[in-house]
Structure formats: C-alpha cells, structure tokens
Amino acid sequence: MPEEQASPSTPMRSSRRSLSPEIFGAGLLALVLLIFIIQNSNEVNVHWLVFSKHASVWVVIIVSAVLGYLIGQLFEFGVKRRHRNHLKNNKV
C-alpha cells in the first residue's frame, strides 16, 4: 500500500492546530489585564495636562492600554516606512 506524500507546493497540515507563541502571549497579557481591571474598580482623581477628572481605575487602565497599543502601531508603521524608503533609495 503506497503512502501519500505531499507535493512540494502543498504544505503538510497536522491534524491539530498549534497555538503560536504570539497568540498565547497576547492572550496571557489580556488575562492579566482583565484580572488587574477587576481588582481595581474604585474611582480616582486623574490629572491630565490642564484638567482633573474623577474616573474609575478600569477606565484609566483601558485608555492607557489602547493608547499604548496605538503608539506601538504608529512606531512600527514608521519603522517599516523608513526601512522601505531606505531600501528604495539604495537600489542599484
């Protein structure tokens, strides 16, 4: 009985899906963030540049996490753009 072999152009698939380290790490960090939010639900006085406001700690945490993510994405976009421009300008 001949064994089935995958052609070089067809990637072999395993019967089980594996979880990538990035997805696992992101899920773990999300879980830690969720636990931290649940444990810190009291209100605090938040001082911004020119004003102060009462807000729940979980709101401050979520806003900080979203802003941190957006800053990271902007930074990554800038690095990739700079790299593309560098490659384009140095073509021979």
Query: Comparing C-alpha atoms, which of 56, 29, 55 is closest to residue 40?
Result: 56
Domain ranges of the chain: 43-92
Percentage of the chain beyond pLDDT 70 is 82
Mean pLDDT (the chain, rounded): 80
pLDDT of residue 28: 94
Q: What is the dihedral of CA 66, 38, 20, 4, to 10 degrees?
A: -130
| Tokens, residue 62 | 């979520």
pLDDT of residue 70: 93
Q: What is the pTM of this model?
A: 0.53
Q: Residues 26-66: pLDDT tens digits? A: 899 889 988 988 888 889 898 888 889 998 888 888 888 89
What is the chain's length? 92
pLDDT of residue 64: 87
